[in-house]
């Protein structure tokens, strides 16, 4: 299986390293560790990170993305990968639903904000 380094992710998805680190810390993705403890991302990780890029492109602030994902991860079983969900921006909120053929953001529910 092919693995992608941080530079690969930066180039492919146009995500800054700081955003990638924040998404890892929030549990958005869990990359493997390679030589010298370098992060190695799977193709599934790239799909999830592409979703984060789409949220950022929709002008959802990075802080809201990471908070929403943290809240979503808290409510999901550990075995359920985020790549199995459809995550999108609805107005200034992040929404999520089960990924199925034909699933759109209109079928998703907003992730409730967390208490400060």
| Residue 14 located in a structural domain | yes
Domain residues for the domain of 31 are 6-110
Highest mean pLDDT among 31-35, 67-71, 80-84, 94-98: 31-35
In this structure, is residue 1 part of a structural domain? no
| Residue 51 within a domain | yes
Q: Indicate which CATH number applies to the domain containing 25.
A: 1.10.1660
Taking the CA atoms of 68, 78, 17 and 43 in sequence, report the sign of the dihedral they define.
Answer: negative
Number of domains in the chain: 1
The rounded distance, in Å, linking the Cα atoms of 39 and 33 is 5
Binned at pLDDT 50, 70 and 90, residue 113 comes out as: very low
In a domain, 115, yes or no: no
Helix (H) or strand (E) holding 96: strand 93-98
Q: What is the pLDDT of residues 20-69, one digit of tens each?
A: 998 888 777 889 999 999 999 998 888 888 877 888 888 888 788 777 77
Whether residue 104 has pLDDT greater than 60: no
Q: Read off the pTM.
A: 0.64
pLDDT of residue 59: 84
Q: Are 108 and 68 in contact (CB under 8 A)?
A: no
84 is a domain residue? yes
Mean pLDDT, rounded, of the chain: 76
Establish if 47 belongs to a structural domain. Answer: yes
Q: Is 22 exposed, middle or buried (0-12, 13-18, 19+ CB in 10 A)?
A: middle
pLDDT band at 115 (very low <50, low <70, confident <90, very high): very low
Q: Is residue 116 part of a domain?
A: no
18 or 116, greater pLDDT: 18
């Amino acid at each position: 299986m092919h693995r992608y380094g941080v530079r690969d992710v930066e180039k492919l998805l146009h995500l800054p390293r700081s955003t990638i680190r924040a998404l890892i810390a929030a549990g958005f993705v869990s990359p493997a560790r390679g030589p010298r403890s370098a992060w190695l991302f799977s193709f599934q990780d790239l799909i999830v990170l592409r979703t984060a890029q789409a949220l950022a492109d929709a002008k959802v602030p990075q802080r809201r993305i990471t908070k929403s994902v943290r809240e979503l991860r808290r409510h999901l079983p550990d075995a359920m990968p985020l790549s199995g969900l459809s995550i999108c921006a609805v107005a200034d909120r992040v929404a999520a639903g089960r990924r199925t053929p034909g699933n759109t953001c209109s079928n998703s529910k907003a992730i409730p904000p967390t208490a400060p």
